[in-house]
Structures are given as C-alpha cells and as structure tokens.
A = this chain, B = another copy of it.
Amino acid sequence: MSVYTTVTEAQAADWLRHYSVGTLVELKGIADGIENTNYFLTTTHGRYVLTLFERLTREELAFYLNLMAHLARHGIPCPAPIADHRNQFMSELGGKPAALVTRLPGAAVMQPGVAHCREVGAMLADMHVAGQSCPVRLDNPRGPKWWRETAPKVMPFLDEPRQALLKEELRFQALYRFQDLPRGPVHADLFRDNVLFDGVQPGDQRIGGVIDFYFAGVDSFLYDVAVTVNDWCVHPDGRIDEERAAALIAAYHATRPLTALERGAWGVMLRAAALRFWLSRLYDFYLPRPGELVHAHDPEHFRRILELRVATGERLPI
C-alpha cells in the first residue's frame, strides 16, 4: 500500500473549497505507485486523482505539472492538473505539496498485442511532437549523472558477475554522447501500467490515458522509445518480440520520422534504458525508504534484459 500520508474526508472536503470542482463525494486511497500518495477523489463535478508528493522538489513538481498541462492542452490524454482559485496547480495538503489532476478512463493491458503496441507508438510520437513547444524544462532526473551516483551505492550488494556487468555497461555508455539526437520532454517511464486502454471490445480499444509523469524530463526521444519497447515488446524472458517492436516503432516513425543518427543509436539506447531500470530497481530493493513496505520490483528482470541487449546488439526492426 503506497499511502504514506493519510488524508481524511474532512480534510479533503475542506481543501476542495480552494477549487471549482464541486463538493466531495468519495475519497479512496490507491495502492499503486511507489513514489507518492495517491487518492481517487470524486466530486459532484467529476473524477480526479489527488496526489501528495513525498519527496519531489518544488522545481521538479512545477515541471511535471506544467508538462502535463501542456500535453493536455495539445490533446494528449494525460492527467490534466486542476488550478485552484489562485490559478495555481501546486497546492498543499497535510503539510505536503499536493495537486489535483483529472482521472482518466480505461485500464492497463498487461499482455499487449500488436494493435496495442501500434497505438502506444503513435501516442508516444504525438507526445514528443507536442512536448517540443513546452516552455518549462528539467533534465531527466534518472539520466547518466544519476547512474554514476547510484551505481556505487548498490555495488556492495552485488555478486562479482553483476558488479562486472554494471561497471562494463557504465563504461560502455560513457563512450556515447547523445546530445545530437532529437531531444525534448520525455515520459521516461511509459510501462504497461502507465497506459490506460479504454473501450469494451479488445479490437476497438484506444488509449484513454497516459499517466504517471513523475519521472519525466528532457532527454533524447529515442531513449523514451527504448524504455517503452523494453517493456511493451518483450517476451517474459526479456527477449524482444520483433512483431510488436516493429509495430510500435513503425507507428512512431509515421508521426515523427526517425533520423539516420537515431537508427544508428538504437542498440546503445536499448542498453541505456535497461541499465536505468536495473539500477533503480537495485536501489529500491537494497535501499528502501523507511516505511516503504512493498512494490519493490525484482531487479533481476532488467539485469536479464541488459545482458540480452548486450549479447544481441539489437538493430531497429523497421
């Protein structure tokens, strides 16, 4: 259960007086999410998500909320932050920074088919294009600088082969500079549980929501594609499913054509994307925050993915 901070109905009802969304109907804690406290909050106007931010800086929060508002303004079905009577997105509740965002329809599809991957590829490209005019910027908080800071902290917990893999990958990635690749705000965490598909018929489903932007930042767009492919287009053992990967990347390419430089960087980027999640899962597994009970993912899944990407040297499947 990821409710770190408890909010009572009386607190929420009182806090809602600062907004124009009607009065409280229901408040319900959400068990998902490993970073923040989330509640489903229903009012006489509609359905929202209330988030209390447990450890983000105000600068990070300002970026996330403004990025979501920018993407929503461009028609991307992401949570739209609601402004209060001071016309601000960022508020405070229970002593924590807090925000109210729209709740989106649909449910995660954990065993996606080719059609789902095609939808996700097209949506990702639309997000990248729409994000380019976003006036606020923040470097990807889980980029190379964070890798270099985090690796020494988890190294003591690893056996010798894993230490060697991690050291070698950091050395390999340091050989590459990706500043010349097309860049902009990226989601950086577009896993299957962060896309909601809406619609009754599996063949007629479309994306009702793209959620959880709290790892977003400015990075190369190709990195975002690699993060997405590493989760949406893999067999249970981590190998890439070429059919789903081709569908996702072709749909992406139809909206934002990939450049020659991006094609050349694909294999390296899949490794970078695997490295980032192996590292963060190692960190959350071996160095959990006090009071953080569950939801630490198995780090081994991304260790296997990294090893596979190193071994096969993937080429772009389109």
Contacts and interface: CB of A to CB of B under 8 A. Distances in A.
So how many copies of this chain end up in the complex? 2
A22 interface: yes
Contacts of A76: 20, 45
A127 B21 CA distance: 9
B44 A122 contact: yes
A73 B83 contact: yes
Contact of A86 (B22, B85, B133): B133
Nearest to A88: B133
A206 interface: yes
Contact of A19 (B19, B74, B81, B127): B74
B207 A45 contact: yes
A49 to B, nearest CB: 12
B77 A73 contact: no
A126 interface: yes
A313 B81 CA distance: 45
Given A19-B75, A74-B20, A206 B45 contact: yes
Nearest to A19: B75
Contacts of A308: none
Interface of A: 19-22, 44-46, 48, 69, 72-77, 80-87, 100, 102, 119, 122-123, 126-127, 129-130, 132-133, 206-207
- 6 tightest A-B contacts by CB? A20-B130, A21-B75, A87-B133, A20-B126, A75-B82, A20-B74
Given A48-B75, A75-B100, 20 more contacts: A19-B74, A20-B74, A20-B129, A21-B74, A21-B75, A21-B126, A22-B122, A22-B123, A22-B126, A44-B206, A45-B75, A45-B123, A45-B206, A45-B207, A46-B75, A74-B83, A74-B84, A83-B133, A85-B132, A87-B133
